[in-house]
Structure 1
Amino acid sequence: MGNLIKSLLIVLLAGVPFICQRAIGAEVIDLPDRSFQQNGNLYQDDLKRVVTITRGRATVYRLLSKISEQTGLLFIYDSKIVENDKRVVVEPGEYPLEDAVRIITGNRDLRIKIEENYILLYLPNADKAEPEIKKRDEIPSANNQTQEGGHFAISGAIKDRLTDEPIEFATISVNDKPYGTVSNLNGEFIFTLPDSLLDSHIKISHLGYQSRLFKASLLAGQRATFYLDQRIIPLQEIVVRAIDPTKTIREMMAARVRNYNSDPLYITAFYREGIEYKNNISLSEAVLKIYKTGVIYGANSEQVKVLKMRRLASSPEKDTLVTKIKSSINSSLLLDLVKNLPDFLQPQAYLQYDFSHTDITVIDDRRVYVISFEQKEEITAPLYKGKLYIDAGNWALTQARFEVNPKYVAKATDDIIVKQSRKVEIIPERVEYLVSYKSNNGVYTLNHVRGDLNFRVRPKRKLFSSNLHIWFEMVNCKTESSNVTPIPREERISTRDIFSETSYSYDKEFWGNFNVILPEENLKDFIKKYVF
């Protein structure tokens, strides 16, 4: 199966006393509202612009969409403030834009700001509208000061406009700048930037969707819900374009040096790994500085330094497992597939895999070929199956989603479990990986990696089993290409050790101004209840 699956090793022990290390101290903060200034007469004229409501009974979302069609302006708002599905009755007629919005939403306290092609709806002191205690460890402050100056934060949720479903792992970045983060499994994100980028443009993008671009100052200090439109490729084009999948992969491999960085970079990354078994959660999070070598060098040449770190763990039950993840940082580095070629990208891959062109989609408004692969029927070893997303114009690999073939994943037990108690039987049920890249001025860098490993655990001589979920992910939050030198040996950590056992000093202002992946709902609840 190659180095990837064997690089992430799970240590499982049964009946071992578990000592939970906890740091001391907690702090409650209240995020102040960052008010906006109106843009003079032009802003006032836009608000007085007359719009027509022809249908008086509809949902709030439908009526606001009609205003967008008339004005060419797109609405941005927090769905907790404006109820999309609420049905309202409005007297048909002509209204000033400002009045129409307040009548439709039923909220006279709404503030309205127009900038470029967007209408922002928000409440003054919106963060106080729903009182909530926030620990500094949970959410970064929007106005922390550092030696580099002030910072601001943009937060919210990203959803599909058609289905209203959250969009997971969408990329949020600064247009033509080396900053970024991703949304979590609930589509939520927070993006912290220096004040010097207030006039920059923020881009939200995801595979298969039309990208959105808006000015950072429009949403600084605010929370909003962002809706993305699906980008559909006509069926006729998919049928007409005959794409040779193996040739497409060869083109991608030949273009690696051109598309990906050849010189060393510094990457500031947020990293999280977690273990969930029964009602227990163990979580390790860190901000890492990575010395990342060029595309022609392997992962062994890369170095990692821990800038910030914390561990959280719930108290286990008597019959719980002590589970540890080994080499998770190394696995995250190995998931840079264009540097560390897995077996399905090796020159002889056609001997083990069948490849097919199955779709055409888009990302960042660029056409992307979807190449599916699966091991040949006669091969029964635990190999991979998945999809590669290759840019149709420059042949860059933009994303890969793959898993150990579910038919044979049980055979991978010995490759994954490095040490197992005799008292339990553990069988892998699903092992999945996600890798994405982002382009900055035509050069691609690693953007986000995630691994999800699901197991079934059954104590021997017992009838029932329990689920064990292990995951890790890393997101590239900032890339630097100037004055890049190797990390001093005494500051490096071993990427092959058990990361959760790395020694660290607790910092009550853990997040600071670093970008992070927001935790999902179950992790939020766990973090809120945790006693630091």
Structure 2
Amino acid sequence: MNAWLRSFWLLMVLVSTLPAGAQNTVLRGRVLDAETHQPIPNAQVGVADNRIGTSTNDDGRFALSIPPAYTQERLTVALLGYKSYSRLLPPLPGPELVVELKISPAALGEVQVTGSVLGIVREAVSRIPRNYPVRPTQLTGFYRESDNDPAGQPRYLAEGLLLAFKEPYQRRTAEGEVQIKQSRKVDLRPDRQPIRIDWAGGPFIVHLGDFVHRRSQFINPAHFKDYDYRLALGSTFQDRPVYVITFAPKAGNRRADFEGRMYIDQDSYAFLGAEWHYTPAGLKSSPNSADSRALRVAYQLYAGRWHLKTVWWQTKARLPIGPPLNYFGEFLTTTIDTAQTPRPGYTERAQYRDVFLHNAVAYDSAFWQGHTTLLPSTALQKSLFDQQRQQQTDSLFKPAEAGTDPQQKQLSAFDRFLKRFSYGSHVGAWPLDVPAAGLTVAYAPAGSGLQVQRTARVNAQDLTIITQFEYQYALTQELAVSLATQRLYRQFKGDGWEVGLSYEHNFNSHRRPLYGRAGLGYIRQTVGLPLGTFDNPDAGLRVSGTHLGADELSARIQTVSDALRPSLGLGIELSHKFELVADASYLVPLRSKTQLQLDEESGFFLFRSSATVDLPAAAVDLRVNDQPTTRLPWQQQPWLLSIGLRYRVR
């Protein structure tokens, strides 16, 4: 029974590329070494001069979806070091096609080097505009990522059909748009595992791994001085002789981040591919810490230009919490479009910080229908089958209420909360009118030995800085409640808080969101002028019912204001996570009071006390420019301007 189930599951995986209708047929084949008859992985399989294509898996097998328009075209199979294979497509559908590749080495003595090895690399770099696309190109491709445990068993597997928009190669860049057209996942982690997989940016290896487009360090003239380049034994690719050049840091050099080899066509000086790993210096300078990181990249010729064909990426890292990460990602170009295709709209683009595993589509063997994919190896198929079968077996022995596990309910509720939660920080100009003035405060509480007289100079000031940290929870898609704390800086000090409602409407729903913002808040803010510290001669001092027994006290004179704060503003989304906002507010005063505040400055900080005396008070004499008063010289103004950055957790 187990053998039957395994065979059935493998059959379902293999038919994953069957067409939904009659418009496409599937060519299946296996690529072997002509001498050893061993499977050849990573061989490039193309039809119609590589207009469409795929690559072989670890077992040498491939499955290629052939549109009716291409059934009379030629099939080509190529790999570095082998003679290329070419023939007309066989009648489809048909049996598995067996392709045998013959080794075609090029001896070192046959390679005519007219200059230094570095000279070859320089020439290849200078010819990038001649060998690679000079106008925008769109690649359709298949993406797969996984994270394996120490035994090599996948913890999860995620796959996607991507559209990758590539900028012209004259401009050096590692950026570009990626659109996830379809995707699926299988999560094979044990139940209740507390560590969440939040690996970000995986589909972007189509841009990050393109070493020619980004002019990676080992082909960047600014870093040639850091590398030692050597010519290795030559080989061929698509029956074209190539230079095989190894690169490594020069002795004692700590600025070279990579080590590996690259393949350069002897006739056109085009980079046909490279394989490399990060050096210890490269791992240290990388923004994401890792124990090792390796890449393998290949290009293919189409319409006289070389286009990205495959990217293979592996990262191993020990995480602060949870098991070690063994990430594996690969991208395979299946279709090349050199027409002037429009860029994908903002709402259709994937963002680098999007987590690919958040896809809600479950893994199933028939999901891809007629799309060309990269076939999983037999070992991967078996691993997935065994783990899914074990999960199904375990579920048979769980109680019926297992699906309503309270812990899972709590996690789901927490996820729903996070999807509505955002926070951000703002900086603005707090509206104070501050003329220059002299200020004197005398305080002598009755029945105490404390007598304080402090003099301060108030400097004229046009701008007072306020910072705010805000938490927001969305009630609906447009309406949210918020809670914020705020603090004043420069000459005045003070803390405050605000609660309110905000409304945000997207005026640009089909492109980068542009939001109109409106809000209403209730705000309380303290504006204080520090008066310095002094010794406390009275260990039993009580101020407004509060005991202040510390040896050292500090004083400040302040206003405490309550106000309503209606606001209008704009917000623009920088990414799916971040939004830049700007608001103009009008403060409607409700009440205000003047206070003298005393704080303990010595003793354990958690047990220090504060007390305030509301003015006017018999124990306090306040003078401004030597004139008795109960009002401080600064005045609250109505307009408040701020700019900030909001972050959405989900």
TM-score for both structures, normalised by structure 2: 0.54
- Correspondence for 2:371: 514
- Correspondence for 1:64: none
Task: Identify the match of residue 262 of structure 1 among 134, 141, 150.
Answer: 134
Residues 287 and 307 in structure 1, CA contact (< 8 A), matched pair in contact too: yes
2:281 & 2:355 partners in 1: Cα distance? 24
- Correspondence for 2:81: 208
1:351 & 1:292 partners in 2: Cα distance? 30
- Correspondence for 1:524: 381
Deviation string, structure 1 residues 41-62 (Cα, Å, up to 9, x no partner): xxxxxxxxxxxxxxxxxxxxxx
2:367 & 2:7 partners in 1: Cα distance? 23
Query: Mapping of 1:21-60 within 5 angstroms?
Result: none
Identity of paired residues, percent? 21
Residues 198 and 220 in structure 1, CA contact (< 8 A), matched pair in contact too: no
Structure 1's 391 and 186: CA in aligned 2 closer, same or farther, altered over 3 A? same
Structure 1's 527 and 455: CA in aligned 2 closer, same or farther, altered over 3 A? same
Task: Say yes or no: does 1:166 pair with 2:39.
Answer: yes
- Correspondence for 2:288: 416
- Correspondence for 1:372: 246
2:283 & 2:182 partners in 1: Cα distance? 37
Q: Secondary structure at the match of 1:150?
A: coil
Deviation string, structure 1 residues 21-72 (Cα, Å, up to 9, x no partner): xxxxxxxxxxxxxxxxxxxxxxxxxxxxxxxxxxxxxxxxxxxxxxxxxxxx
1:135 & 1:472 partners in 2: Cα distance? 24
Residues 205 and 311 in structure 2, CA contact (< 8 A), matched pair in contact too: no
Query: Mapping of 1:229-268 within 5 angstroms?
Result: 229-238=102-111, 241=113, 243-268=115-140
Structure 1's 141 and 387: CA in aligned 2 closer, same or farther, altered over 3 A? closer
- Correspondence for 1:224: 97
Task: Identify the match of residue 351 of structure 2 among 483, 489, 494.
Answer: 494
Deviation string, structure 1 residues 62-120 (Cα, Å, up to 9, x no partner): xxxxxxxxxxxxxxxxxxxxxxxxxxxxxxxxxxxxxxxxxxxxxxxxxxxxxxxxxxx
- Correspondence for 1:140: 16
Task: Say yes or no: does 1:470 pair with 2:327.
Answer: yes
Deviation string, structure 1 residues 482-531 (Cα, Å, up to 9, x no partner): 24001011111113432222566888852121111111223212444548
Structure 1's 528 and 457: CA in aligned 2 closer, same or farther, altered over 3 A? same
Moved more, 301-310 or 291-300: 291-300
When you count strand as a share of all residues, which structure comes out higher? 2
Structure 1's 267 and 411: CA in aligned 2 closer, same or farther, altered over 3 A? closer
Q: Secondary structure at the match of 2:45?
A: strand
Residues 136 and 167 in structure 2, CA contact (< 8 A), matched pair in contact too: yes
- Correspondence for 1:398: 272
Q: Secondary structure at the match of 1:324?
A: coil
1:351 & 1:249 partners in 2: Cα distance? 13
2:191 & 2:249 partners in 1: Cα distance? 41
Q: Secondary structure at the match of 1:246?
A: helix
Q: How much has 1:453 moved relative to structure 2? A: 2.0
Task: Identify the match of residue 294 of structure 1 among 160, 165, 168.
Answer: 168
Structure 1's 214 and 320: CA in aligned 2 closer, same or farther, altered over 3 A? farther
Unmatched tracts of structure 1, length 5 or more = 1-129, 418-426, 461-465
Residues 260 and 444 in structure 1, CA contact (< 8 A), matched pair in contact too: yes
Q: How much has 1:226 moved relative to structure 2? A: 1.9
2:362 & 2:38 partners in 1: Cα distance? 39
For the pair shown, the structure with the greater C-alpha radius of gyration is 2
Q: How much has 1:201 moved relative to structure 2? A: 1.0
Task: Say yes or no: does 1:336 pair with 2:210.
Answer: yes
Q: Secondary structure at the match of 1:326?
A: coil
Structure 1's 280 and 502: CA in aligned 2 closer, same or farther, altered over 3 A? closer
2:282 & 2:50 partners in 1: Cα distance? 44
Q: Secondary structure at the match of 1:311?
A: strand
Task: Identify the match of residue 312 of structure 2 among 450, 458, 479.
Answer: 450
Task: Say yes or no: does 1:151 pair with 2:24.
Answer: yes
Task: Identify the match of residue 185 of structure 1 among 42, 49, 58.
Answer: 58
Letter in 2 for 1:494: Q
1:134 & 1:411 partners in 2: Cα distance? 39
Task: Identify the match of residue 355 of structure 1 among 219, 226, 229.
Answer: 229
1:210 & 1:217 partners in 2: Cα distance? 20
- Correspondence for 1:112: none
Structure 1's 409 and 160: CA in aligned 2 closer, same or farther, altered over 3 A? farther
Residues 304 and 495 in structure 1, CA contact (< 8 A), matched pair in contact too: no
Letter in 2 for 1:207: L
Q: Secondary structure at the match of 2:205?
A: helix
Q: How much has 1:211 moved relative to structure 2? A: 0.7
Letter in 2 for 1:276: N
Q: Secondary structure at the match of 2:221?
A: coil
Moved more, 378-387 or 441-450: 378-387
Letter in 2 for 1:400: A
2:328 & 2:311 partners in 1: Cα distance? 11
Q: How much has 1:218 moved relative to structure 2? A: 4.4
1:322 & 1:409 partners in 2: Cα distance? 29
Structure 1's 524 and 382: CA in aligned 2 closer, same or farther, altered over 3 A? farther
Residues 13 and 366 in structure 2, CA contact (< 8 A), matched pair in contact too: yes
- Correspondence for 1:47: none
Q: How much has 1:436 moved relative to structure 2? A: 0.5
1:414 & 1:176 partners in 2: Cα distance? 38
Structure 1's 295 and 484: CA in aligned 2 closer, same or farther, altered over 3 A? same
Letter in 2 for 1:260: Y
